[in-house]
Structure formats: C-alpha cells, structure tokens
Amino acid sequence: MSNRHALRRIGPMLAGFLAASCVIGAPTGFTGGRLEVVVGEDVWGSLAAQLGGDLVSVTSIVTNPNADPHDYEPTAADARLVGAAGFVIENGIGYDTWMQRLVDANLSSRRDVLNVGDLVGVAPGGNPHQWYSPSSVQRVIDAISAEYARLDPAHAADFAARKQQLDTVGLKPYRDTIQQIRDQFAGTPVGASESVFAEMAPALGLDLVTPPTFLVAVSEGTEPTAADKATIDEQIRSREIRVYVENTQNTTPDVLRQVEACRAAGIPVATITETLVPKGASFQDWQARQLMGLLTALTASTP
C-alpha cells in the first residue's frame, strides 16, 4: 500500500531545493495533532482530504486548472512541504516525475509514499490518468484510508467512518451515473481527443473507436500520424461515432478541427478536463457533472 523509495541522483535544481528545505531532525509528519499529507495532484488530494477530515492536513501541489501536471516545475516551497510531510501521494506512471524527485531530495524514514501507478499495477508508459478508472479510484481510496489508520491508529474508527460515508454517500451520484450510461448505451461507438478518456470508456461500456495511437500522441504532445487523422475524419464523416469526447485542457489544431467537423455533422461533443474544474471542486462533483454532460450528449445522439 505504501512505498519507500531509495535515493536517486538529484538534479541541480532539486539539490538547491534540498538545501532550502532541510529540516533539523527527522520530521514527525504531524502538526497540531494532524497528519501532514502532500499530494501531487488535486484529483487525488480531494479524496485524501475527504477521507481524513479534520484529522489530516492535505496540501495538493497542482491545483491550477490551467497548469499541465506533466510539465509542472516544483518550487522550494513544494520541497519544504514534502520534507515535512508524514504521507505523500504521487500519481506515478511517468505523469509527475517531479514529485518523485522531491521525495528523493527529502528522504525520511518517517514518511510513507503512495505511488498510484505501483498500487494499481500500471508502469511508466501506461495510461497515467487513473482517476478516470473507477476501479483504480476505489483502490486508491482503500489504500489512503488504510494508511491513515496505520499512521494514526488512535483514530482508525474515525477514518473507517469517513471512508464508509464517501463510499456510500459521497460517490453515489458518480457511480449511479456510470451505471446509468452503461445500462443505456453499452456498445455505443464514441470518439475522443486524447487518452484521458480511455480509462473511463470501458467502465461505461462505450466502444472508443479512435485510434489509440492518436489518443496517446495528443496526450503526450507529439504529432499524430496522417493515417490516424484520416481514420478519425472518416469516422466523423460517416457518423460512425455517436459522441466525441474532448479534453478542453488539451486542444490541439487537430482536435479543434475534429470538434468543428463533429458539430458540422451533427455529432454531439461532450467535454471533460484533466484536473478539477472549477478549482476546489470535489472529485465526485467534478466527475458526476462531466458524466451527466456525457449522458446528455449520448441521449441527444440517439437516432
């Protein structure tokens, strides 16, 4: 459930951070009786905060909806946060390598690290957007709650109660909408602008027919092949897809052209984002709102 990482080479920038963030003596990881938790991305930070309540202090590093977590440049303040934390949550899978460097630059035998990729068994090179996989989300929830109870056993019952509340009440609209889409539209062919949606489509029972190599190229900022673009153009022209799902935080000229073609062809476009929108939204409200938008688009596309 938690991983402790060995020391690796520290880059020049992070070497400076290390000097700036050194803490005298090993950090306890608690401040004012609350466990200090630092999370790379707010999508996981929202769940961590709800599972811990006022027994934990959760700080997410990437919270700006306009920031790209892939390319985030950590600061000395980020390094100090990691240095004082008792529990760190990183996405892994090559998504936030800067977070692992911060952990390596601030080694502590009293800090536990949860790497989501390691937890769910997805290695670098796989799809890093595991917060769009309902099964991965559940495994992360289970792991965070168990780690809280391990680090603060006096409040284990409180953590268990918070997990029960999140599982049975907080996440119910999110899970109900997933099931509704699956019940009504399983097997429906859809397109997407990038790999963010590739983890959610199978859970919804939708048939994502966009070439996987196109999805990865847009996600990683590389040029899609002409063959992939031609395939998508034909899928839109022939109305093979019923809905197109666009990540509005990563719109390339190719994606914009496809969105315009979908609208001209009368194919509904549903929008999603990579991070919490609006800033400060809960994980479940953000996801449920997007899923309802997709459900509306699928309903509108029904012949």
User: What are 65-99's pLDDT values in tens digits?
Assistant: 877 788 899 999 999 999 999 999 999 999 999 99
- Is 6 domain-assigned? no
User: What average pLDDT does range 123-135 have in this prediction?
Assistant: 96
Q: Which residue, 170, 200, 221, sits at the end of a domain?
A: 170
- Judge whether residue 1 has pLDDT over 90: no
Buried b (16+ CB within 10 A) or exposed e, 120-139: bebeeebbbbbbbbbebbeb
- Judge whether residue 16 has pLDDT over 60: no
What mean pLDDT, rounded, does the chain reach? 90
Domain with 59 in it: what CATH number?
Answer: 3.40.50.1980
- Is 234 domain-assigned? yes
Same domain? For 70 and 97 the reply is yes
Q: Which residue, 170, 198, 225, sits at the end of a domain?
A: 170
pTM of the model as a whole: 0.89
**In terms of residue numbers, what domain contains 114?**
12-170
For residue 252, which amino acid is it?
T
The predicted pLDDT at position 229 comes to 98
HEC readout, 6-22: CCCCCCHHHHHHHHHHC
- Is 3 domain-assigned? no
Same domain? For 112 and 228 the reply is no
- Judge whether residue 13 has pLDDT over 60: no
Domain count, the chain: 2
- Is 99 domain-assigned? yes
Same domain? For 163 and 191 the reply is no
The predicted pLDDT at position 25 comes to 36
> Across the strands, what pairs with 247?
272
Same domain? For 152 and 209 the reply is no
Same domain? For 37 and 83 the reply is yes
Q: Which residue, 102, 136, 170, sits at the end of a domain?
A: 170
The predicted pLDDT at position 17 comes to 39
Same domain? For 22 and 151 the reply is yes
Residue 237 CB burial class (10 angstroms; 0-12, 13-18, ≥19): exposed
The predicted pLDDT at position 160 comes to 98
Same domain? For 116 and 34 the reply is yes
